[in-house]
Structure 1
Amino acid sequence: MSGRLHARGTERVHKNVWLEFARLAADYKAVNLGQGFPDFSPPEFVQDAFCKAVSGGHQMHQYTRPFGHPPLVHILAKFFGRIVGREIDPLEDVLVTVGAYQALFCAFQALIEEGDEVIIVEPFFDCYQPMVKKAGGKPVYVPLRPVSGDGSAVPSSGDWVLSPEELASKFTPRTKAVVINTPNNPLGKVYKTEELQVIADLCIKHDVLCISDEVYEWLTYDGNKHVKIAGLPGMWERTVTIGSAGKTFSATGWKVGWAIGSEQIIQRLKAMHQMSVFDCATAAQEAVARGFEREYELFGTPESYFQQLPAMLHQKREKLASCLGGAGLQPVMPEGGYFMIADTSSVTVDFSDFMSTDDEPHDFRFVKWLIKEKGLATIPVSAFYSPEHRKDFDKYIRFCFIKEDSTLDAADDILRTFSQRQ
């Protein structure tokens, strides 16, 4: 095919770690702790709301307001306005998108121009990098690094921190935005207020934007609390906060997300949204609206799903950590989210039949071996890093624990073969 028939901007985008390992998992019928979705149903109250929506008359099957179904944008503004301590205009400050993924795409396309530098904190969800590049921007990376302890405590995602000096050194006159993800995927780090304040101070000092991916905001453990950087002084006007109904209500297939920020920023995202998908599924938005209305009334009570889901996942997190430890893998206990990374350094594997290229990272080879030889699917953590830092973190693999106990038990049975072999 002639090179004239495709765009150069997509040349490095066609290869995708999720497609590659999902296909492998399917081919080998592996127990799937790789992809980040629940293998159980959403709560009954949002399922009922969805059923009621699709049987509620012709209007639920037609276009709704392009920038967000009115009941949904109103409850999102009301709900999050209470959290950040300010009035949010539902029609001007909120954009509903096809999942958080599209919210991110709109943000990068609307706000990043040719030659802009975008600081991305690593590890990062892998779409940030190609989205920045497609917008003409230049990704600049700064990693969270584990702080060595005395060896007596179980490693935690809280041990992974940003160096304020290293972060500050990445800012230049061309810096346009900083991208953070809290709770972080894949690490599970929940940024503390003082850590967010360091980032906020630099954003204000250099007059740059912050794109804050907060899709796992309700999933925190061990007393850790999610803090919105948009709520810090001086940050509302320069922050785009990304959220996800799929992660909030365990309904990833509904593909309802949002971006919240000041009118001056959100109007630019609206322009991109209008030129791409134009509108989102009406019935799904209606159901999400009813879910948030319920949670608004029950917020902070034991009946709230936002209380029940992390309580359930806390048990699953403990179960997975025990499985990994028994297999000789060193888990890093996540403070939030529904992923756990584990250090594979102590497991010796002969990769001779599983290395597709000489320079393939260790964790990619380990995951392929795990799928093909053991029937367990995970994700390599170096996929969440830039080329310059990938080798420093290629001994870790990512497990998803928002799964039925039967799925986790099946994974445990496989992991037990590690300790029996050694």
Structure 2
Amino acid sequence: MGYPPLTKILASFFGKLLEQEIDPLKNVLVTVGAYGALFTAFQALVDEGDEVIIIEPFFDCYEPMTLMAGGHPVFVTLKPSPTGDGELDSAGNWRLDPTELASKFTSRTKALILNTPNNPLGKVFSKAELELVASLCQQHDVICISDEVYQWLVYDGHQHVSIASLPGMWERTLTIGSAGKSFSATGWKVGWALGPDRLMKHLRTVQQNTVYHCPTQGQAAVAQSLQHEQLHFGQPSSYFVQLPRAMWRSRDHMVRSLQSVGLRPVVPQGSYFLIADISDFKSKMPDLPGDVDEPYDKRFVKWMIRNKGLAGIPVSVFYSWPHQKHFDHYVRFCFVKDESTLQALDEKLQKWKDELRP
């Protein structure tokens, strides 16, 4: 269920953050990346016909994992608020409608999956928003699967709050984390799930009968890294302090660069990613090559790769099929890049900008 030095430091480190007595044997499971934690959670807790509430835009594995477990995904969409002329949009302007969210809970609702900071939007859910979710989960006796892999990548003075730390939520929440995201070692595939034994015992059963365990060498390295972070927590020597400072600069660099060619970034509050509004191009270049039934952002990304040498992800893939057509004017970019890559971006965008001049 996890290399003992790692389960112990996870219990100690997150016990302080969540203000819980965490038992490394009962409340911690080390998994093959956060993906492994998510898959194990869905397989362990979602049964045939159960409903799972998914907040859009969503990390793309949530829907197929729900379906693979026999569940029925139910979607609720973050709505962007209007911004003033010339004003940059912010991920914080994308909000849940409390009435709409409440309407998604039924007698068949088993779980709600929360992702904060959100991928692809970069929204950091406020404490008030989390309290709304928590209240509904408790009212309807629903499990919260909280994907918090970007918890250390938060900007502009925003604070990440774990929903498991709110009153009454530890007993119904699985908190999922990632060493790959936390320590910039994404190929190592070491993740974890934290939660009450009444839920964790089912995850242990699934893991024991599927992947069985996560390779020990990676676990040992992550254990040492967390021990260092615990000793240096909140200090300038902490990687969890250094990383967001560096990525904050990269984020702002990319925001400025994308604006130069008429893309309109939605400034993220956290995560690796930002999305940019391509509506101006959609109105000027409506007839891009490709299948006309394909969402516009997919055709735009293919055009951009071929003609501009720049890659992004169409944001419509992070929405359920009925809603894709309403959000096909955004592209996701990753700003966690070396300085040399950001400079290459600037060069390509400058060339693009020159081509746009009359």
The normalised TM-score by structure 2 is: 0.97
- Pick from 260, 280, 285 the counterpart of residue 194 of structure 2: 260
- Give the % identical residues: 57
Report the number of matched residues: 355
Match of 2:7 in 1: 73
In the TM superposition, residue 351 of structure 1 has moved relative to its aligned partner by 7.0
- Pick from 286, 289, 297 the counterpart of residue 354 of structure 1: 289
In the TM superposition, residue 350 of structure 1 has moved relative to its aligned partner by 4.8
1:415 aligns with 2:346: no
Match of 1:206 in 2: 140
In the TM superposition, residue 352 of structure 1 has moved relative to its aligned partner by 5.5
Matched residue of 2:193: which SS?
strand
Which amino acid in structure 1 is aligned with residue 289 of structure 2? F
Match of 1:240 in 2: 174
Structure 1 residue runs of 5 or longer lacking an equivalent are 1-66
1:301 aligns with 2:301: no
1:393 aligns with 2:327: yes
In the TM superposition, residue 150 of structure 1 has moved relative to its aligned partner by 2.9
Structure 2 Cα separation of the partners of residues 118 and 374 of structure 1: 40
1:379 aligns with 2:313: yes
RMSD over aligned Cα, in angstroms?
Answer: 1.1
Matched residue of 2:354: which SS?
helix
Match of 1:190 in 2: 124
Structure 2 Cα separation of the partners of residues 362 and 127 of structure 1: 22
Report if the CA contact (8 A) 2:288-2:299 is conserved.
no
Which amino acid in structure 2 is aligned with residue 174 of structure 1? R
Report if the CA contact (8 A) 2:308-2:352 is conserved.
no
Report if the CA contact (8 A) 1:224-1:335 is conserved.
yes
1:153 aligns with 2:103: no
Report if the CA contact (8 A) 1:351-1:365 is conserved.
no
Match of 1:101 in 2: 35
Match of 1:30 in 2: none
Structure 2 Cα separation of the partners of residues 149 and 209 of structure 1: 35
1:275 aligns with 2:209: yes
- Pick from 61, 72, 76 the counterpart of residue 138 of structure 1: 72
In the TM superposition, residue 86 of structure 1 has moved relative to its aligned partner by 1.3
Which amino acid in structure 1 is aligned with residue 78 of structure 2? L
Report if the CA contact (8 A) 1:158-1:335 is conserved.
yes
Report if the CA contact (8 A) 1:320-1:408 is conserved.
yes
In the TM superposition, residue 152 of structure 1 has moved relative to its aligned partner by 5.4
Match of 2:225 in 1: 291
In the TM superposition, residue 375 of structure 1 has moved relative to its aligned partner by 1.1
Report if the CA contact (8 A) 1:92-1:266 is conserved.
yes
Matched residue of 1:267: which SS?
helix
Matched residue of 1:389: which SS?
helix
Structure 1 Cα separation of the partners of residues 136 and 288 of structure 2: 48
**Deviations 1:133-165, CA, capped at 9 Å, x for gaps:** 010000000011111133353211000000110
In the TM superposition, residue 353 of structure 1 has moved relative to its aligned partner by 6.5
Structure 1 Cα separation of the partners of residues 226 and 267 of structure 2: 29
Report if the CA contact (8 A) 1:242-1:258 is conserved.
yes
Structure 2 residue runs of 5 or longer lacking an equivalent are none
The normalised TM-score by structure 1 is: 0.83
Report if the CA contact (8 A) 2:137-2:143 is conserved.
yes
After TM superposition, the structure 1 stretch with the greater mean CA deviation from structure 2, 148-157 or 210-219, is 148-157
Q: Structure 2 vs 1, CA of residues 157 and 193 (structure 1 numbering), >3 Å: closer, same or farther?
A: same
Matched residue of 1:346: which SS?
helix
In the TM superposition, residue 124 of structure 1 has moved relative to its aligned partner by 0.4
Structure 2 Cα separation of the partners of residues 260 and 307 of structure 1: 23
Structure 2 Cα separation of the partners of residues 221 and 120 of structure 1: 25
Match of 1:405 in 2: 339
Match of 1:368 in 2: 302
Structure 1 Cα separation of the partners of residues 88 and 288 of structure 2: 34
**Deviations 1:6-51, CA, capped at 9 Å, x for gaps:** xxxxxxxxxxxxxxxxxxxxxxxxxxxxxxxxxxxxxxxxxxxxxx
Structure 2 Cα separation of the partners of residues 379 and 183 of structure 1: 18
